[in-house]
Structure 1
Amino acid sequence: MRKLFVIHFFLFVSLYAFLLNREALGEARYFSLTFNGNYETTFSTTYKNTQFTWGLELGIPLNRFFELGIGKSFTQDIYEYSDDYKNSLINKGLILPSGTLKQENDTSDTYINLIVSPNWVYVNPSISGGLLMRSVCSRDYFNDATCQNQKLTWNLGGGLSFYITEYLRFKVAYKISPSGYRLNSKNYYDERYTAGITFLY
């Protein structure tokens, strides 16, 4: 339901902006650079998850409605487990390191997307989709690292940006892609929200 709501939201905003916004600025541009990121902390009954995402995207306009987006992003997930959870593992006979029990996942994504966007309006909605190459390195309780080979998958998303100046925009975006994790015949997905600044050239 959450994914359907996000998709419908971006479709609605895209239609609204297309119908109600007048043509903006009218300056020709050759490419754009977007610096984006996100920081958030979530809690469960057994752990605290701190996630930090940052990335860079190059946008190459194909015409007034289509753009090619080539980007790189990095995400660091740190899981800090509660003392109760740690003690439950110790009671099962596991030998764990002293101090706070932690795990870390470092994800690197390289992607190329086709972006549909009326890039001549002041409020600039967009819908994107394409291919993504992902690699993940995980560190366990003992700080031992395990890395997976790069995997090719897909990603979908949407965004909304606003002019700050003639050559500067503020952008918020949403992206979903398969996590590669599967449990009891159920597939899991990575959902990420970012905010950033776009420079128009």
Structure 2
Amino acid sequence: MRSFQLASTCEGYRAAARNQGIRERPNGLFPPADPLLTALAAAPKTFPFEKLVATADGPYLAPPAGGWATGNSAAASGLDLRLFYMEPFKGEDHGSVFGAVRFGDSAAIAQECHLNVHGGAIMSALDEAASEMGKCDFAPVLGTVDASFRMHKAVPVHTSLRVECLITSKRAVRCWVDGRLLSADGETQYASCTIQLVNMMTWVKAEQEIAMEEA
């Protein structure tokens, strides 16, 4: 797995993400022909994708069983996040990640009590989207080392919401991504975040160099 991690690149990650797209989600929470998803899919220079990871079988694989915030298993647990990468336009240094998310009953503060989405579910969606932004344009193997979130309004369940993420700064092995959770029309901001990500391969390479020196 380490060899695949070390061999992975942002260019390779984006190419694999474009090729694989988003797998079918039998437990998906979006209705057919959802207007927000339709609009995102039709945006110029944009393609749908989902999280890829390096495993023993290759550098860019969609987790077969999904994960906490990705795939059908996440949708079944109340978090259905669909991401889209928008390629940079002329004069831009990097692209951006947009998305649509719907939270189901299992993501509510308390089920069957007419309550809104739990803050942990909101933070999970924003952190996932921000991390994928970093993997597309900073480093394909990275981790969140610091995060700040702000909740601006209560988030309703069973509502299609817009996610936007953009890299705001890069410095050495770290990058910073700002993210927002908005209404489908972009007029209402429900939550925002700033995520600090670190290139994990710097540690892997350092470990290898130390091992070689000690051998």
Q: Do the two structures share a fold, i.e. TM-score over 0.5?
A: no
Task: Report the structure, 1 or 2, having the larger strand content.
Answer: 1
Taking structure 2 as the reference length, what is the TM-score of the superposition? 0.31
Q: Which has the larger radius of gyration?
A: 1
Q: TM-score, normalised by structure 1?
A: 0.32
